Structure 1
Amino acid sequence: MEIAQMNKTDFNEIIRRSKKIRELYHEAEKQHHGNEWTIEEDALAFLTDAGLVGRYTMSQQGRWPKENTHAELEHKLGECIWWLVVLADRMNIDMEEALEKFLSKTEKLFGK
């Protein structure tokens, strides 16, 4: 399904819920560290989770000696999408627009 056809309410709900969860984490960060994580710390957390996606993928494909990582892989994939929504929001980037531009540009590269 193309982004243009996607139900805006669904995408907006994902963004709304993601922002709310991030606000809750910000409150926990203030309690534990005295302040919120910076955008740079959020980006580093995303990269850490993205690295775990790689490791869990290797495990799922039998290339790393850890078993039963399906649930962890599923969680980290969802968490990475969440981080991208959070990062876009914190840097004033419209995630829906960014994704649409990427998809359109890439489709043109392939003649679609």
Structure 2
Amino acid sequence: MDFLVLSARAAQIRLRYARWEQERYGRSWTEEEIALGLVGDVGDLMKLVQGKAGVRPHPDLDEALAHELADCLWAVMTLASTYEVDLEAAFLRTMDQLEQSIADPTDTVAAEESQ
């Protein structure tokens, strides 16, 4: 699936949540509350990572892990949209920077990829 399609779907779900929050709480979540939700999701993710390491058993571990990774991605995409960050461009730029930071001038694979 295309990144823009994923972003649009994330935004659509966020709008539905905002309406639901408005009905339930009289207001939608703030940016800070969305970020706090991400922190909670990352905590849940860490418990599942521990489960994969055999430390915290969990029923349906692989499914729960996939769900939590998707929750984290949704929250990141939502925050990027909220703050008008072009996440796709930022990701690609960051990957280029990371790749450059570990570049080995003698690495023939990297040289072939750049051609």
TM superposition score category, shorter chain reference: 0.7 to 0.9
Task: Summarize deviations over 1:10-60 as a string: whole Å, max 9, x none.
Answer: 111000000000000000100011111000000000110011111011112
Unaligned runs of 5+ in 1: 1-8
Unaligned runs of 5+ in 2: 104-109, 111-115
Look up the match of 1:82: 74
Amino acid at match of 2:12: K
1:50 and 2:34 matched: no
Per the normalisation by structure 1, the TM-score is 0.87
Structure 1 position 66, deviation (Å):
3.3
Q: Distance in 2 between matches of 1:22 and 1:68?
A: 27
State the number of aligned residues: 104
Q: Give the share of equivalent positions with the same residue, in percent.
A: 28
- Identify the match of residue 72 of structure 1 among 36, 39, 64: 64
* Largest Rg, 1 or 2: 2
Higher relative contact order at CA 8 Å, sep ≥6: structure 1 or structure 2? 1
Per the normalisation by structure 2, the TM-score is 0.85
| RMSD, aligned CA | 1.3
- What stretches of structure 1 move > 6 A for 4+ residues in a row? none
- Identify the match of residue 37 of structure 1 among 29, 38, 50: 29
